[in-house]
Homo-oligomer: A and B are copies of this chain.
Amino acid sequence: MTLSVLSDEHFMKQALVEAQKAYDQDEVPVGAIVVHKNRIIARAHNYTEHLTDVTAHAEMQAITAAANFIGSKYLVDCDIYVTLEPCLMCAGAIFWARPKRLIFGAFDAKRGFTLLSDDILHTKTEMKSGVLSDDCGKILTQFFQNKRTKI
């Protein structure tokens, strides 16, 4: 029997499943999951419109749910996957949560935290970008194209 270590692409596909749920509910399609020892312990998607709450980004909800699941405010040994580069608010939350890794898909050329500084995350947190970035970007492009068509 061999230990199967699942790939970043595998987990990003799960974050994309969350993004699609947001899309289907007319929310900006961003999804996030938290993985602990190869197991998904939290799933969330952007829900700002339904909750009338700017803080209800995918990452924020995933962090809260994961901390609740593991019973610790620090997400030790956890990896956060998110389809879009976190904004400053979410990067700030990820700083406080101190996960082992942050993996994101598409870069956010308007609101991505790396536009301001690469030094925002906690030193305990490694970052990887560009995982399935085409798919992660495409769902957003399609969403905003549809919005413009409706106007």
Residues of A that sit less than 8 Å from B by CB = 48-49, 52-55, 60, 63-64, 67-68, 71-74, 87-93, 95-97, 116-117, 120
Q: Top 3 A-B pairs ranked by shortest CB distance?
A: A89-B92, A88-B92, A54-B96
A60 to B53, CA, bound (A): 10
Identity of the chain B residue whose Cβ is nearest the Cβ of A90 in the assembled complex: B92
The one of B53, B63, B87, B91 that contacts A54, using a Cβ cutoff of 8 Å = B63
Taking the full assembly, how many copies of this chain does it contain? 2
Chain B residues whose C-beta falls within 8 Å of the C-beta of A90 in the assembled complex: 89, 92
Q: Is the CB of A55 within 8 A of B88?
A: no
The one of B52, B67, B72, B89 that contacts A89, using a Cβ cutoff of 8 Å = B89
The one of B52, B63, B74, B89 that contacts A96, using a Cβ cutoff of 8 Å = B89
The contact sample of 18 A-B pairs, CB cut-off 8 A, is A52-B72, A54-B63, A54-B73, A54-B74, A54-B96, A54-B97, A55-B60, A55-B63, A55-B64, A55-B96, A88-B91, A88-B95, A88-B120, A89-B93, A89-B95, A90-B92, A116-B117, A116-B120
Most buried by B among A55, A68, A116: A55
Chain B residues whose C-beta falls within 8 Å of the C-beta of A120 in the assembled complex: 88, 116
A68 to B48, CA, bound (A): 12
Shortest Cβ distance from A50 into chain B, in angstroms?
10
